[in-house]
Structure 1
Amino acid sequence: MAASRLAAGGPVGVFDSGIGGVSTLAAIRGQLPREHLLYVADTGHLPYGERPQAYIVERALRITEYFLSCGAKAVAIPCNTATAAAIEALRARHPGLPIVGIEPAVKPAARLTRSGIIGVLATSGTLLSDRFHALVRRQAADVQVLLKPCPGWVTLVEEGGWPAHADRLVAEPLEDLHRRGADVLVLGCTHFPFLIEAIRRHIGPDVPVLETGLPFARQLQRLLLTLGLARVAGEGGVSFFTSGDPAAVARRLERLTGRRATVERLPEPYC
């Protein structure tokens, strides 16, 4: 698709393995209040962090095809695992389509640390990716980067509630990073900001915890402005879709955001 064929009035497609990417929507709406966003929660294929790369690439390509069928002018991926696994394949398939991925805030963490040790909390899919390791080599070569997978954290956010084992599930990776000297933490998954209260209960108020919703939104804004694709009039909004159960996703959205939302199921070819 040639960039010249993209229409400024078209929507922006946003997708995540589930509802985690909703943690970036406020930032996107703040930077681009006139844009209409199509948000796909791919809950029928959750969790991405435990899927093979080829599987994630196939889902990313299929969801992007749905966005293009809706006239999307850009795609934003507020999912670290999907960015690491699929963004290069997406850009190769659609060289004229603006595509923005997300990356853990390793660079600002490396600048902020006093101990010279930072901790990155993420899914195994992100931490094992070549893209993530290249990011660490490029942006944090002078500090020690401790990688901590957080099994079960995504499920805690998606399922809600607080089962008996939840507190220990959150505490274990944090205690290990503290014991090893990390004085700055990076949330490398968009689901994890929804656990910030539980995280703070274990690390206290003073340890910096970095996430990348706002930088991600600003990068999307810069790209649309540079390409002349930003909407200059009208009122924006968000339409929600899922490959899973729309009613379940609507309940999760209301629980996390305090707002009711209508959620539609993706058309069958894209599920």
Structure 2
Amino acid sequence: MVSMTTPSLNNSPIGVMDSGVGGISVLKHIHALLPHENLLYFADSHYAPYGSKSAEVITQRCISITDYLISQHAKTIVVACNTATAAAITTLRGRYQIPIIGMEPAVKPAAEATKNGIIGVLATVGTLKSAQFAALLENYGKDIKVITQGCEGLVECVENGALNTPQTKALITHYCAPLLAEGADTIVLGCTHYPFLRETIAEVIGNSITLIDTGAAVAMQLKRQLDTHKLHASHLHQAHITFNTNSTLPNAAEVIDTLWGACSQTPYTVVTHKPE
């Protein structure tokens, strides 16, 4: 087991990781709920998307990133990626002695929200093939119809900042068509990149269909962990946010700026790392 000690543990940062910039959608919920917390984000964009990679490769990437975040004194880790959670969360929790929060597609809330008993799930192929997702369907999908759709290419659209281009809209139209044909009235955004495409998806499917993601629920679970372990930062603490990326795209920092937007007045910096 790997543990950490630091003299100012409460004001140490919360580490958040994702296969790329998608986890910033979760980071926004975390910052809104916990505005006094330092946040340390790592976008593993050079290795995105995770959805097409083996569980072994994803787990090694998660270990490498967690080691880095802990070296920067992260007091807890949020795996803001459904695919990485499915592949690596058990290994991470067995290896490190700090709270580690994962996430999963919002099948349960979608099952509760649907009015006609038909939901769709947009996710990466890796998430849809995982044992974790199979367990979700077993637990919450028995009494409803669930249509799943792997969405190759959408992660790359977000990584490139192409949120509402004709090409992105064409992909979304293609992937949503089977869900609409089956009559889904609720669609799960089962990848943290996809909330950044929410407006474009709504343009394609209309406003009568409910879109659900788990960003707010993950932030609440993080807060509960901080409560349990008494790890909250002081309310007098001035927070800072650091975005780390190993993207080699020339517009990587610009994409982060765009996705984070005018989320708050909290200062932030973007740090670029050479890919390992």
TM-score of the superposed pair, with normalisation by structure 1:
0.92
Moved over 4 A (4+): 1-6
Cα separation, 2, equivalents of 1:26 and 1:104: 18
Question: Which structure's residues are more often helix, by fraction?
Answer: 1
Q: Are 1:263 and 2:259 an aligned pair?
A: no
Number of aligned pairs? 268
Alpha-carbon RMSD across the aligned residues, in angstroms, is 2.0
Residue matched to 1:181: 183
Cα separation, 2, equivalents of 1:246 and 1:70: 25
Tell which deviates more after alignment, 6-15 or 151-160.
6-15
SS in 2 for 1:236: coil
Equivalent position amino acid for 2:57 in 1: Y
**Alpha-carbon distance change, 32 to 246 in structure 1, aligned in 2, over 3 angstroms:** farther
Quote the offset at 1:164 in angstroms: 4.3
**Alpha-carbon distance change, 215 to 87 in structure 1, aligned in 2, over 3 angstroms:** same
Q: Which runs of 5+ in 1 are unaligned?
A: none
Residue matched to 2:247: 244
Tell which deviates more after alignment, 119-128 or 164-173.
164-173
Equivalent residues in 2 for 1:102-121 (5 A)?
102-121=103-122
Residue matched to 1:54: 56
Query: Is the 8 Å Cα contact of residues 23 and 81 (structure 2) preserved in structure 1?
Result: yes
Q: Deviations over 1:121-149 (max 9, x none)?
A: 00001111001111221223221211111
Q: Which runs of 5+ in 2 are unaligned?
A: none
Equivalent position amino acid for 2:227 in 1: L
Cα separation, 2, equivalents of 1:168 and 1:4: 47
TM-score of the superposed pair, with normalisation by structure 2:
0.91
Residue matched to 2:136: 135
Equivalent residues in 2 for 1:1-271 (5 A)?
5=5, 7-94=9-96, 96-161=97-162, 164-233=166-235, 234-245=237-248, 248-258=251-261, 262-266=269-273, 271=276
Quick one: percent identity of the two aligned structures? Answer: 42
Cα separation, 1, equivalents of 2:74 and 2:269: 20
Cα separation, 1, equivalents of 2:238 and 2:122: 36
